[in-house]
Amino acid sequence: MATAELALVKPINRLSRFGAGAAPRLGGRRPPSVVRMAVGSPPPAAGATTALPKKSPKTTEIKETLLTPRFYTTDFDEMESLFNTEMNKNLNEKEFEALLQEFKTDYNQTHFVRNPAFKEAADKLQGPLRQIFVEFLERSCTAEFSGFLLYKELGRRLKKTNPVVAEIFSLMSRDEARHAGFLNKGLSDFNLALDLGFLTKARKYTFFKPKFIFYATYLSEKIGYWRYITIYRHLKANPEFQVYPIFKYFENWCQDENRHGDFFSALLKAQPQFLNDWKAKLWSRFFCLSVYVTMYLNDCQRTAFYEGIGLNTKEFDMHVIIETNRTSARIFPAVLDVENPEFKRKLDRMVEINEKLIAVGESQDIPLVKNFKKIPLVAALVSEIVAAYLMPPVESGSVDFAEFEPRLVY
């Protein structure tokens, strides 16, 4: 899971910068540093890299922005009523039983096993690429862990109302814990570790109503699938860019994400009121746009990472957006016309405006002047986003909610 949301009114900055003092010594035997991303003072949230040993920890501020992967919470009482089989006759118990059996099979139980190649590869990664790799691991780990927390809580809360759905959530949280743990082990190759216990307590949680949790998590699972499989296929075809072994695990890994997405698809079909009216169409397009714009702006700030593994960032992102949109069109009642070249032109203009906003943010001006300079840029960004939202949509979705979505062929 890799959920993100759209920043409409704030500039989007680079996520984290490790100060020289806290940078891990390359290839050394120094104990790992603990990366903490926490709510700090002054607001907005700031994080810290804490060097071990625990005595007199050396901390360096790292920025957390609106594009940092979020933690979610929801209305669990409403969730309980949605999954009450007596209240909701659309819940196809046989279908959920079948899904549960698939999750119980646990295809990837023995998949996430590390080997010495990880540390060797990490030691070879130097300079800016090393830093951006750390950031990639850190962001991915946070996103996976965010899924773990939400699914675990849903598994706990739905136990009485709907034990089958509850168990599926628990098994999905198992998968996400595995993914987060594997990424965190990856960070240890760089002498770092995310303090997940600290994250759980200190992070702000974003509240979404159940309906929005469904849209957002469905999209984030599917976009996660397309990102992982695209990187995997690219590196399989171009092994000279295989700079760190984690990507070799993406093929089976993304199948977990795909299964998670399919489960949300089944959940959405069991709640036709979330799919079959004009509001559902507007919200579907809104969530698609949020997720696509967030990814595009985020990735365009990190071209060094994608170029480092031999990808063209914008081409990669457009491929992922188009495929995710095609997948989402099977369930969402309306999606964006992302294959219209005008959509990409709008995204590219958003990137340009965002770059200007970042430049203003990093300038030496006093805050008042900075804010003044940002006004027209923020207005321009918002108008591009609104224009993209208002582009003629593509009507989509399944008419027959009883029919289960066909599986993707891997």
**What is the binding site for Fe ion (CB under 5 A)?**
1, 144, 176, 179, 221, 257, 260
Smallest distance, Fe ion to C-beta of residue 258, A: 9
* C-alpha to C-alpha distances, 105 to 48, 101, 226, nearest whole angstrom: 39, 6, 23
Question: Which tokens hold the place of 135?
Answer: 């950031």
- Nearer to Fe ion by Cβ, of 372 and 410: the residue is 410
**Among residues 60 and 220, whose Cβ is nearest to Fe ion?**
220
Q: Which is nearer to Fe ion, 1 or 270 (CB)?
A: 1
Name the token pair of 338: 């992302």
Closer to Fe ion by Cβ: residue 254 or 329: 254
Closest to Fe ion by CB, 259 vs 285, is 259
Distance between CA atoms of 213 and 196, rounded to whole angstroms?
22
Shortest separation between residue 221's beta carbon and Fe ion, angstroms:
5
Give the DSSP H/E element, type plus range, for residue 251.
helix 250-269
Identity of the residue, 135 or 256, whose beta carbon is nearer to Fe ion in the bound complex: 256
Please report where in the chains the tokens 């590196």 appear, as a residue: 235
Q: CA 212, CA 274: separation in Å to the nearest integer? A: 9
Distances (CA, A) of 84 to 81, 88, 92, 161, 404: 5, 6, 12, 5, 20
How many Cβ atoms are within 10 Å of 198's Cβ, its own excluded?
A: 16
Residue 175 Cβ vs Fe ion, minimum distance, rounded to whole Å: 6
Q: How far is the CB of 148 from Fe ion (least distance, A)?
A: 8
The number of beta carbons lying within 10 Å of the beta carbon of residue 121 is 17
53 prior amide bond cis, ω within 30? yes
Min separation Cβ 260 and Fe ion, Å: 4
Residue 218: CB minimum distance to Fe ion, A: 11
